Amino acid sequence: MFIKQLSALLAAISLLLMTTHTVNASTGNPTACHDIDTLKGLAIAGGLSGSQTECLEKRLSSNETRNQKIAISNVLIDNSKRKGNWKDLVQRHLSQYDATDADLVFAYAMYHYRHQQYDDVLVWLDKSLQLTSPANEPGQKQKLYLIHQLRTLCAQKIWRSAENSVLKRQSPANLHAVKEAQSKALATSLEWLHYADDSAQDTAMARQLCISAADPSVCSQR
């Protein structure tokens, strides 16, 4: 009998807590988004309510510290992965709160890569290359290799696209664009080749793409 009464009491308390949380969230009470650590778990699953995201947005507009705004913005970004506005929130984060988040910069570059926006990919991969930790840290050697590889592949795509434009119309502007794109393709492939050689990683594709943009003698390993 006692166990049944205790179970009923616990169920009532649980219901009361759920109701209280719902009221806080729906009314925009600041406590609905006060505990960032708790919200992180919800955000990863895209589980923040509309009132919680609104509350977090209000905190971003308030006199929070820079570190607090970075944490809040990261929660909103995690939550947005299933909401469709990830790009806008990342762009805001990198421009307003923290431009030194190497992982987020790389993820933003990959977003542009998936959308075949290769000029933007190069911009963000260049930033990622500057921000990525030295290769002697675990996993960083492979990441740096990947960044160099992706930069080269994007530069190659831009170069080939410029050549296709020349085939359609041999204007001075198009011819100049080809020359500039080829120069970038060569530079990125050389940087990849040199890094691959220095870090004792595979150099075959880097050398092949380098040779496609210049005389083979230019692409000899140091």
What pLDDT digit, counting tens, does each position of 128-187 carry? 999 987 766 778 899 999 999 999 999 999 999 999 998 889 899 999 999 999 999 999
pLDDT confidence of residue 84 = 82
pLDDT confidence of residue 21 = 36
pLDDT-above-90 percentage for the chain: 65
DSSP assignment string, 27-66: TT-GGGGT-HHHHHHHHHTT---HHHHHHHHHHHTTT--H
pLDDT confidence of residue 81 = 87
Summarize the confidence of residues 84-104 as an average pLDDT.
95
pLDDT confidence of residue 220 = 80
pLDDT confidence of residue 218 = 87
pLDDT confidence of residue 20 = 33
The Cβ of residue 28 has, within 10 Å, a number of other Cβ atoms equal to 14
Q: HSE (CB half, 13 Å, CA atoms) of 44? A: 5
SS3 16: helix
Summarize the confidence of residues 49-59 as an average pLDDT.
93
pLDDT confidence of residue 145 = 95
Per-residue pLDDT of 174-217, as tens digits, reads 999 999 999 999 999 999 999 999 999 999 999 999 999 988 88
Reference 109, options 98, 119, 100, 99; nearest CA is 119
Q: Is the pLDDT of residue 9 over 60?
A: no
Q: What is the pTM of this model?
A: 0.79
pLDDT confidence of residue 32 = 72
Per-residue pLDDT of 27-47, as tens digits, reads 344 447 888 988 998 899 889
Question: What distance, in Å, lies between the first and last C-alpha atoms of the chain?
Answer: 83
